[in-house]
């Protein structure tokens, strides 16, 4: 089976380097699942999944 996913940011930022982590966190919550409909999420800077992603990326960059 092939999965298709779409993510969209409605924030004011237009630099993908700034918003990609937020998009990934939102997308991975539903990765491999059939939601059956559109989902709308708000991801905040203190979101545990976002913090963990950024922490792991920072470790890999060292």
Q: What is the pLDDT of residue 1?
A: 65
Mind giving me the DSSP string for 2-29?
A: ---------SS---HHHHHHHHHHHHHT
Q: What is the pLDDT of residue 54?
A: 94
Query: What does the alpha-carbon distance between residue 37 and residue 39 come to, in Å, rounded to a whole number?
Result: 6
Q: What is the pLDDT of residue 3?
A: 75
pTM for the structure as a whole: 0.80
> What does the pLDDT profile of the chain (62 residues) look like in tens digits?
677 788 888 888 888 988 999 999 999 988 888 888 888 999 999 999 999 999 999 999 88
Query: What does the alpha-carbon distance between residue 47 and residue 29 come to, in Å, rounded to a whole number?
Result: 12
Q: What is the pLDDT of residue 10?
A: 87
Query: What does the alpha-carbon distance between residue 30 and residue 48 come to, in Å, rounded to a whole number?
Result: 16
Whose structure tokens read 């004011």? 12
């Amino acid at each position: 089976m092939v999965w298709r996913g779409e993510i969209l940011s409605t924030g004011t930022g237009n630099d993908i380097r700034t918003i990609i982590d937020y998009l990934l966190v939102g997308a991975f919550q539903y990765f491999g699942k059939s939601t059956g409909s559109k989902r709308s999420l708000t991801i905040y800077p203190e979101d545990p999944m976002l913090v963990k992603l950024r922490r792991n990326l920072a470790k890999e960059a060292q």
